[in-house]
Amino acid sequence: MHRLDAYAHASRLRHVHPLNKFAFVLAVMLLCLILDRPAVSATALLWMTGLSILWGGARPGFVLRLLTAEGLFLALSVVAVAVQVGPVGPGGGWAVTSTPTSLAQAGALFMRALACASAMNFLALTTPVLELVNAARRLRAPAALLDVVLVMYRYVFLLLETLMRMQRAQESRNGYASPAIMLRSAALLGGQLFAASWRSSQRMEMALQARGYEGGVLPMLTPTYTFSRAWLAVACFVLATLFGMAPL
């Protein structure tokens, strides 16, 4: 989470307006869903991954690990499409079967979902969350929803910092020396983390009230964006490439 946020703030594409990147990512995802061709999905996956690494500045190892984690989750999700479990014959036995059609459908679904995930990764790796929220505000998103997103975004980092601090304290006291001790330490960590998160939420609420917050949109600084012809040309070329792969 910390590295994802760090890449977004240091991205070489941060100067591009978030609405432009959001429209581009949405167009790529819609083309993958509407055209429904494995070649289109594979091309979108390569483009989004390449842009995140070569232009955005994210490390290849981090992007590949991110895609691997998402790919494993998606692979488990498409198993139900590739494999069917049901009774065999009048005798009542059960069998696990698959057909070339079901395998092809599962593969196409996997590639389409992974391509959409890579498009979302591109947006997350090149645009900080605060700027995405600011762009959503311009699209007339509900103010209450944006407030919840901002507060939860900050709270996630507080929770992770508390978790790592507690875990380091347990490791320094040999809290994971054996499986039995590890289970006990994990149970203690869960209870202490809940109490610490509760106290942190109360402190955050008091801090907001001390600054006169009474609901509505949280004030944010609006960064300055520049028009990039290179970005516009690359975006149009990527979309044209996806259209060109549709007949394959």
pLDDT > 90 in the chain, percent:
43
The strand ranges marked E within the chain are 84-88, 93-97
Q: What is the mean pLDDT of residues 48-58?
A: 95
Q: What is the mean pLDDT of residues 15-36?
A: 93
Euclidean distance between CA atoms 106 and 77, whole angstroms: 9
User: Which token pair is 202?
Assistant: 């109360």
pLDDT category, 211, cuts 50, 70, 90? confident
The model's pLDDT over 185-197, given as tens digits with 9 standing for 90+, comes to 888 888 888 888 8
Q: Give the pLDDT of residue 242.
A: 94
The model's pLDDT over 127-181, given as tens digits with 9 standing for 90+, comes to 998 888 888 888 888 887 888 888 788 788 878 888 888 888 888 888 888 888 8
Q: What is the mean pLDDT of residues 104-123?
A: 94
Q: Is the pLDDT of residue 1 over 80?
A: no
Q: Give the pLDDT of residue 24.
A: 96
Q: Say which residue, 33 or 130, is predicted with more confidence.
A: 33
Asked whether the CA dihedral 88, 89, 91, 92 is positive or negative, the reply is positive
Q: Give the pLDDT of residue 152.
A: 82
Q: Say which residue, 2 or 32, is predicted with more confidence.
A: 32
Q: Give the pLDDT of residue 215.
A: 65
Q: Around Cβ 30, how many Cβ atoms within 10 Å?
A: 12
Mean pLDDT, the chain, integer: 87
Half-sphere CA count of 82, side-chain side, radius 13 A? 13
Q: Give the pLDDT of residue 109.
A: 93
Euclidean distance between CA atoms 200 and 213, whole angstroms: 17
Q: Is the pLDDT of residue 75 over 70?
A: yes
Q: Give the pLDDT of residue 143.
A: 80
